[in-house]
Chain A
Amino acid sequence: MIELKHVYKSFDGCQVLNDLSLKLVEGESVCLFGSIGCGKSTLLRCLAGLEQLDSGEIVFSGGERPRIGMIFQQFNLFPFLTVLHNLTLAPKQVLGMSTAEAERIAMAQLDSIGLAHKSHLFPHELSAGQQQRVAIARALVMKPQILLIDEPLSSLDPISRGEVMDVLRKLKSEITLVISTHDIQAASELADRIAILDEGYICEDGSVDEVLTSPRQEATRRLLSYMRDLHYTIESVQFDRPELNSRIEQFCSRYGLNAKASRYVQLVVEESLNLVPLEGGARLQLAKMNDDMRMMLDIVTDEAGVLYADESTCRDDLSLSILRGLCDVLEERVEGSMHILHMELSKARLQ
């Protein structure tokens, strides 16, 4: 349906799309997966015609550009128009529909997403999830053949995510979708095919199962590990502890762990950070080890010297005694210039 061939795009000297090639097939749901800033949004904007390519081409089958709709991360609803008028503006101005016809189609679309009763409200009177659903409905009234969706869930709280995921799941079977996201769970639920973007090009492209469970490329493995695990960099003693706790909570809920398990992990992290010197900074990595829900926590500092997990040299014996009681494994090792405090928590402790 659409083929991108050796596409290049840069902004102010920064190469965003770098010899990117991709094929989109009708009826398929493709996920563009990658870390933040890897070029997913730029690729979608080029497909939608909002950006001009520096070089390369976008080829449409049959020579004719299909009708392409786009949904934005920030919704981009028209704030001065009601929900109904947001949906009727384009059909009236672009398709030349009458007001009555446009309103009939708009109300039918709003009804299908469960928001017909909100048609008279303005966007600021809706929740984030409702706004995103209205944005989807607004794109759908123009009957696009391809729908481009840029990070549909990133601005949403968990409840709104659920609402929007319901709508997107329904759409998956009805229309060709191209979704950009850095959310692994959304990618695995919504896509038939996943294309991994790294440094401006597609490093791997295949079915969701293949790419997520058995990635062939090192770049993909590295990216998936980065996205799955929690990585947190601490720059000094005064770091944002509530933010770290919140990230730990999100990480645990991603794997279906309850609040009690999340607090357990937070306590392990807090006590282990009391053992290591933070003045020079530290890096924290929290990962799920295998299907058995075993968690691994590594705290890496560049400080050589004393042992952190030894009673005679530790900085805080109270924290050490708590950690010894909470963890199955507590060990430290030195790898080159790095000092690693390694902990493991079994499934039993987290349930």
Chain B
Amino acid sequence: MDITILEEGGTTILHIAGRLDTVTSPELEQTVKPLIDLGAVVVFDCEKMDYVSSSGLRVILSTYKQLAAVGGKFTIRNLNKEVQSVFDLTGFSRLLNIE
């Protein structure tokens, strides 16, 4: 998995490429930790993410909850069909802000 971080007008965008699974989700968790700040706006751009499992979903859920607690905003965008179906199965697509 590759994570590229870009800042755009106060928004931190994480471009996630590859697999988000049991092996790689700790890396995402560590990357996101320092970004959780008062009023932070974080976006996960998942255009190049081709696989997500429950471990990845937990990191995403945890990021959402932490940002909500500090008044921040969390968005996920550009999910492909396969990954979207996993979000749909688990109800995450109803919970999270997906573009």
A270 touches B53 (CB 8 A): yes
- Asked whether A260 is an interface residue with its Cβ less than 8 Å from the other chain, the reply is yes
With a cutoff of 8 Å between Cβ atoms, the chain A residues found around residue B85 in the complex are 325
- Asked whether A72 is an interface residue with its Cβ less than 8 Å from the other chain, the reply is no
- Asked whether B79 is an interface residue with its Cβ less than 8 Å from the other chain, the reply is no
With a cutoff of 8 Å between Cβ atoms, the chain B residues found around residue A267 in the complex are 51, 53, 86
A319 touches B82 (CB 8 A): no
Tell me, rounded to whole Å, the shortest Cβ–Cβ distance linking A320 to chain B: 9
Number of interchain pairs (Cβ within 8 Å): 40
Contact of B51 among A263, A318, A325 (CB under 8 A): A263
Q: How large is the interface on B (under 10, 10 to 19, 20 to 34, 35 or more residues)?
A: 10 to 19
Give the contacts of A217-269 with B (CB-CB under 8 A).
Answer: 241-242, 260, 263-264, 266-267
Contact of A266 among B51, B54, B57, B90 (CB under 8 A): B51
- Asked whether B77 is an interface residue with its Cβ less than 8 Å from the other chain, the reply is no
Tell me, rounded to whole Å, the shortest Cβ–Cβ distance linking B28 to chain A: 16
With a cutoff of 8 Å between Cβ atoms, the chain B residues found around residue A270 in the complex are 21-22, 53-54
- Asked whether A22 is an interface residue with its Cβ less than 8 Å from the other chain, the reply is no
Tell me, rounded to whole Å, the shortest Cβ–Cβ distance linking B11 to chain A: 28
- Asked whether B65 is an interface residue with its Cβ less than 8 Å from the other chain, the reply is no
Kindly report which residue of chain A lies nearest to residue B21, judged by CB atoms.
A270
- Asked whether A208 is an interface residue with its Cβ less than 8 Å from the other chain, the reply is no
- Asked whether A3 is an interface residue with its Cβ less than 8 Å from the other chain, the reply is no
Kindly report which residue of chain B lies nearest to residue A318, judged by CB atoms.
B54
Kindly report which residue of chain A lies nearest to residue B80, judged by CB atoms.
A260
- A316 to B54 CA separation, bound complex (whole angstroms): 9
- A325 to B82 CA separation, bound complex (whole angstroms): 12
- Asked whether A61 is an interface residue with its Cβ less than 8 Å from the other chain, the reply is no
- A326 to B23 CA separation, bound complex (whole angstroms): 21
Kindly report which residue of chain A lies nearest to residue B89, judged by CB atoms.
A325
- A271 to B54 CA separation, bound complex (whole angstroms): 7
Tell me, rounded to whole Å, the shortest Cβ–Cβ distance linking B56 to chain A: 10
With a cutoff of 8 Å between Cβ atoms, the chain A residues found around residue B23 in the complex are 241-242
- A321 to B91 CA separation, bound complex (whole angstroms): 10
Tell me, rounded to whole Å, the shortest Cβ–Cβ distance linking A6 to chain B: 52
B22 touches A321 (CB 8 A): no
With a cutoff of 8 Å between Cβ atoms, the chain B residues found around residue A260 in the complex are 82
With a cutoff of 8 Å between Cβ atoms, the chain B residues found around residue A325 in the complex are 85, 89-90
- Asked whether B29 is an interface residue with its Cβ less than 8 Å from the other chain, the reply is no
With a cutoff of 8 Å between Cβ atoms, the chain A residues found around residue B91 in the complex are 321
A319 touches B54 (CB 8 A): yes
With a cutoff of 8 Å between Cβ atoms, the chain A residues found around residue B54 in the complex are 270-271, 274, 316, 318-319, 322
A318 touches B57 (CB 8 A): yes
Give the contacts of B51-99 with A (CB-CB under 8 A).
Answer: 51, 53-54, 57-58, 82, 85-86, 89-91
Give the contacts of B5-54 with A (CB-CB under 8 A).
Answer: 21-23, 50-51, 53-54
Q: Which residues of A contact B (CB under 8 A)?
A: 241-242, 260, 263-264, 266-267, 270-271, 274, 316, 318-319, 321-322, 324-326
- 29 A-B pairs whose Cβ atoms sit less than 8 Å apart in the complex: A241-B21, A241-B22, A241-B23, A242-B23, A260-B82, A263-B82, A264-B82, A266-B51, A267-B51, A267-B86, A270-B21, A270-B22, A270-B53, A271-B54, A274-B22, A274-B54, A318-B58, A318-B90, A319-B54, A321-B91, A322-B53, A322-B54, A322-B86, A322-B89, A322-B90, A325-B85, A325-B89, A325-B90, A326-B89
New A-B pairs, 19, CB < 8 Å, besides A241-B21, A270-B53, A316-B54: A241-B22, A242-B23, A263-B50, A263-B51, A263-B82, A264-B82, A267-B53, A267-B86, A270-B21, A270-B22, A271-B53, A271-B54, A274-B22, A318-B58, A318-B90, A322-B53, A322-B86, A324-B89, A325-B90
- In the complex, the 4 A-B pairs of residues with the closest C-beta atoms, listed nearest first: A325-B89, A318-B54, A319-B54, A270-B53
